Structure 1
């Protein structure tokens, strides 16, 4: 055996030893990303207890208490009045509590504190208002079914301890950690669409747990049951058609004191707007962007800071988009700027429509048919405007649809003004 052959054999021996060591380590070592499942007792709603077993998730969840503005200037978690940016809110919601108090949401950890402090809640507020504010919803529904919705809000709120804001148990089964939905209104709405959420894929559930609260709803008269108006579709026009049928006897959220129009109030239709947008149709879940995967000490976990993806662009967006953070930020900011410009104009014209109808109605012998037409137009215009304004992405969840919806609101507001003017002019002859 010559020298070269001896060196080759020695090299092969070293390689065999090295790879044998690596294979052995892989075989016996527990993957760093594996998390041991802890069986937490059913009915345990204190996130600190969950945090003992899931410290990385809990540590990130507690960061939701940080209040800061949005990177683009839209939204954010500062407790500021939305009317500071959109003064038309005060006139358009005149006669409704939203005209008095309409603050930005501060985040899940403040849900119970904020609803107790808001001027929109009073002694007569029903228990249905607590539906999306606490995991104790599970307990209330187990004990009373939909009967909890008719109980006084204050009675239920008094049963929720200081740790009772939105947390782990809203979205996770305590025994298995599987994602779950506890809001009966979402479950019922999906059943009407032919979807059993208990059989949904994990990827679908990564959106359903968000959609159970980030959605439009109304309180059914008499029962005060929470209902999601999705039976005819998820777009503004679909829901408007649904409301036109007066479901369960529901006619209006309130009557505007100036125009006397029967008005509707949109409630953050994030799930609906996302589901009909590019990301939703492509199967990108809410959590993919708002709760991206992170790594710490070799362990992979989902961030539980439920916030704007713009605060963590590389993790939230960079896995799919490789154009760089500056490009991504510009895309979002541009979309939101364009949406706000059209939306703000539409909102101002809705205000003018209410004023025009009020003025026309004061004209002796005003044409009542034209006034009725004007009231229907302003009702629809404000619903379309509010559908975009109440949604939390300022158009980004579905840019094309949001811009189109805001533009339709603007046009319908203009038509309402014309109808009001015709009513006054015809009867002034």
Structure 2
């Protein structure tokens, strides 16, 4: 054997010994420390009990009690009336409880407190109002089916000891993500989606969507229903309501225009799911509950807040432009959305006034008056889908501006129809 051959064999032997050592080390190395799943007793809804086993998650959840302004000036978790920024709200919701109390939402830990203190609640309020405020809804539905929704609200509040927390989103035995809102489960089933078979990534959106979505109360039963059978876009849901499902005609009649109105309820999922992030497979939790580390342990933050407060953790995994650029981009989108939203809201308020003025004319044209009422109903529905949504357009900027642009145009058409009804010449 030649000297070069001996050298080559010796070198190979060294490599084999080295990589063999690495393989053995990997094989016997202990796995990284993981969180041991604790079997929480079935029916346990007190987050403090869950927190004994998951202290990091619980500590971050407790931060949902913080009341802080939004970094861009829109939203935030301070309980201020939305009419302070949009005075037209008082006119738009005239004749119904949102004209009296339409405060910004606070964090999850305040959900039950805010429900109890809301001026929108009255003697006629029903148990359906607890559906998205407490994990007790799971037990209520098991015991009564949808019967709980028609119970007096005070009766259901007495049984709801805890606010939105761990049990709303996690199976106590396995910690797997789950949804407990029966309205969401039924709505998804009608769309051909079995939530029990959803992927974990889909569930990281579904646990939020089960409450952050549009709904209405079925007449007579007060059952909670999501209007998704025709689709999730504004026109789809409006078409659904136009069919008067289960006899549902309106949330209330505006006292000035006499138009049968609809009230949108935080349609975050609808806007998000048709936006660039939703279409790209990003989940709600990716941004609003970013992964973080403490004491070497990786966990998902349960503060559930604006990604603007956690830009590095929420956005940097996908975006490399840096926090200042990202925040500026969000601010631009929200400023532009609010400008059009505010403009559309003011024009819709004028439409209600124009219809009221036309209706008292002795020779009013009833056909044009009816058209004006339909136009203002649709205009306010489109406007409200963005006003009630929590991202100020960011979840889907193009659709937000398109929807608000249509709301603005419909408001102008409503005014024109009202003027025709009153015999007012237009130039």
Q: TM-score, normalised by structure 2?
A: 0.94
Preserved contact between residue 206 and residue 287 of structure 1 (Cα < 8 Å)? yes
Q: What is the 5 A alignment of 1:236-315?
A: 236-315=234-313
Q: Aligned pair in 2 of structure 1 residues 104, 19: CA closer, same or farther (>3 Å)? A: farther
Moved more, 293-302 or 169-178: 293-302
Name the structure 2 match of 1:185.
Answer: 183
Gapped regions of structure 2 (runs ≥ 5): 1-5
Name the structure 2 match of 1:217.
Answer: 215
Q: TM-score, normalised by structure 1?
A: 0.94
Preserved contact between residue 128 and residue 148 of structure 1 (Cα < 8 Å)? yes
Q: Does 1:24 align with 2:57?
A: no
Preserved contact between residue 366 and residue 426 of structure 1 (Cα < 8 Å)? no
Other structure's SS at 1:165 match: coil
Deviations 1:164-185 (A, max 9, x none): 0000000000000000000000
Name the structure 1 match of 2:395.
Answer: 397
Name the structure 2 match of 1:82.
Answer: 82
Deviations 1:148-167 (A, max 9, x none): 00001110101122xx0000
Q: What is the 5 A alignment of 1:30-429?
A: 30-32=31-33, 34-161=34-161, 164-425=162-423
Query: What is the Cα deviation at residue 20 of structure 1?
Result: 4.1
Deviations 1:334-363 (A, max 9, x none): 000000000100000000000000011111
Looking at structure 2, the residues matched to 332 and 23 of structure 1 have their Cα atoms a distance apart, in angstroms, of: 50
Other structure's SS at 2:340 match: helix
Looking at structure 2, the residues matched to 191 and 120 of structure 1 have their Cα atoms a distance apart, in angstroms, of: 31
What is the number of residues matched between the two proteins? 419
Preserved contact between residue 294 and residue 302 of structure 1 (Cα < 8 Å)? yes
Preserved contact between residue 264 and residue 383 of structure 1 (Cα < 8 Å)? yes
Please, what is the CA RMSD of the aligned residues?
Answer: 2.1
Preserved contact between residue 219 and residue 227 of structure 1 (Cα < 8 Å)? yes
Preserved contact between residue 61 and residue 303 of structure 1 (Cα < 8 Å)? yes
Looking at structure 1, the residues matched to 392 and 109 of structure 2 have their Cα atoms a distance apart, in angstroms, of: 23
Looking at structure 1, the residues matched to 214 and 160 of structure 2 have their Cα atoms a distance apart, in angstroms, of: 24
Query: What is the Cα deviation at residue 61 of structure 1?
Result: 0.4
Gapped regions of structure 1 (runs ≥ 5): none
Query: What is the Cα deviation at residue 266 of structure 1?
Result: 0.1
Deviations 1:87-138 (A, max 9, x none): 1110000001000000001110000000000000112100001100000000
Other structure's SS at 1:240 match: helix
Query: What is the Cα deviation at residue 27 of structure 1?
Result: 3.2
Query: What is the Cα deviation at residue 381 of structure 1?
Result: 0.2
Looking at structure 1, the residues matched to 15 and 236 of structure 2 have their Cα atoms a distance apart, in angstroms, of: 70
Looking at structure 2, the residues matched to 208 and 102 of structure 1 have their Cα atoms a distance apart, in angstroms, of: 26
Query: What is the Cα deviation at residue 275 of structure 1?
Result: 0.4
Looking at structure 2, the residues matched to 23 and 302 of structure 1 have their Cα atoms a distance apart, in angstroms, of: 33
Query: What is the Cα deviation at residue 297 of structure 1?
Result: 1.3
Preserved contact between residue 367 and residue 426 of structure 1 (Cα < 8 Å)? no
Other structure's SS at 2:159 match: coil
Deviations 1:165-219 (A, max 9, x none): 0000000000000000000000000000000000000000000000000000000
Looking at structure 2, the residues matched to 61 and 15 of structure 1 have their Cα atoms a distance apart, in angstroms, of: 51
Query: What is the Cα deviation at residue 35 of structure 1?
Result: 1.2
Name the structure 1 match of 2:3.
Answer: none
Preserved contact between residue 101 and residue 118 of structure 1 (Cα < 8 Å)? yes
Query: What is the Cα deviation at residue 298 of structure 1?
Result: 1.2
Q: Aligned pair in 2 of structure 1 residues 44, 73: CA closer, same or farther (>3 Å)? A: same
